[in-house]
Amino acid sequence: MTNTELWVAIPDSTLMECVDLKEKTEKAGYIARACAIHRVTRIYIYHDRGERRREDQRLLSILLQYVEAPQYLRKHLFPKMPELAYAGLMPPLRTPSHLVKTDLSEVKAGDIREGYCYRRSGTYYVDVGLPKPAHLLHKENVGIGRVAVKIEAVEPELTCSIIDRSGIKGYWGFTVKQTEDLSKLVRSLKPILVIATSRLGQPITENWRLLQNMLHSSEKCLILFGSPKRGLQEILRDEGTTIQNIANLILNFVPNQGTATIRTEEAIYLVLGVINFLIHLPIS
């Protein structure tokens, strides 16, 4: 098994076929669940030049960030806004950072939790989803906002210290980033393994061993998805480049598909399922 880190790039036109905010919110929830199930650590939302609805990029970013945040942090991170009117429809992710322990008797020194750091009367505290805030130790370079902390002690006082999120073992959720052109994004991230999904690509059935070997030899893999109406070829043509110029592999993950199109959220489930399988399949 490899520890390949998975990133995905989806267009801001992903929500274009939704008729209203409720449907857009539900679709965002499906995307978040698919990414969390398969341990995606970054979601990039790039601009599809063929569509004018730039507001959906911001909306999708807000919804994905909202559902990724532990429930007790949302009141700190997200003010009341119209974009979140149907946020309760999104299914919970239940990732390791979404701790459900709310009783101090269940907490012990060494536990890792997400928290919101704030200052009161000259003292720094962190809301870690417990009946009382944790007193923050080691306050050097402390800022107000979301942090990852380690519980240092529960009694006689609940205390914690900030830790680097990158050092947390295991899966801890995803970050969401908005970007402009897909081609510029890929160039800024290389050298990494870039997989393009396309109905016109090579069948995965003939290339799974190649993909498996590339996954096992790569620390990071970025998987590119097109829009509900336009494939990556069309999107990249508008940017003045081709899919061959930015991707290491162009693969069709559903050979002989039975529907005219595959929705973006469906493609994410399908593609990540295959990639997750190959990552955990020993090389023979």
Please give the model's pTM, rounded to 2 decimal places.
0.94
If asked whether residues 122 and 237 sit together in one domain, one would say no
If asked whether residues 236 and 191 sit together in one domain, one would say yes
CATH number at residue 242: 3.40.1280.10
CATH number at residue 146: 2.40.50.140
In whole angstroms, give the CA distance from residue 6 to residue 249: 15
Whether 240 shows a pLDDT value over 90: the answer reads: yes
Measured distance between the N- and C-terminal CA atoms of the chain, rounded to whole angstroms:
12
Q: What are 160's strand-pairing partners?
A: 136, 151
Is residue 146 a part of any domain in this protein? yes
If asked whether residues 86 and 197 sit together in one domain, one would say yes
In whole angstroms, give the CA distance from residue 67 to residue 218: 29
Residue 52: the pLDDT is 67
If asked whether residues 232 and 110 sit together in one domain, one would say no
Confidence of residue 101 (pLDDT cuts 50, 70, 90): low
Summarised one tens digit per residue, pLDDT across range 1-35 is 568 999 999 999 999 999 999 999 999 999 999 99
Q: Which of 178, 223, 229, 185 is nearest to 51 (CA)?
A: 229
Domain housing 122 = 104-165
Q: Which of 165, 192, 211 is the last residue of a domain?
A: 165
CA angle 237, 239, 242 (to 5 degrees): 45
Tell me the one-letter amino acid at 59: L
| Domain tally, the chain | 2
If asked whether residues 145 and 236 sit together in one domain, one would say no
Residue 218: the pLDDT is 96
Place of tokens 């923050």: 136
Is residue 246 a part of any domain in this protein? yes
If asked whether residues 191 and 88 sit together in one domain, one would say yes
If asked whether residues 69 and 17 sit together in one domain, one would say yes
Is residue 172 a part of any domain in this protein? no
Instruction: Count Cβ atoms below 10 Å from residue 252 Cβ, excluding itself.
Output: 18
What average pLDDT does this structure show over 272-284? 94
List the 40-46 sheet strands across, edge first.
175-178, 40-46, 5-11, 220-224, 193-203, 249-252
In whole angstroms, give the CA distance from residue 95 to residue 63: 16
Q: Which of 165, 193, 217 is the last residue of a domain?
A: 165
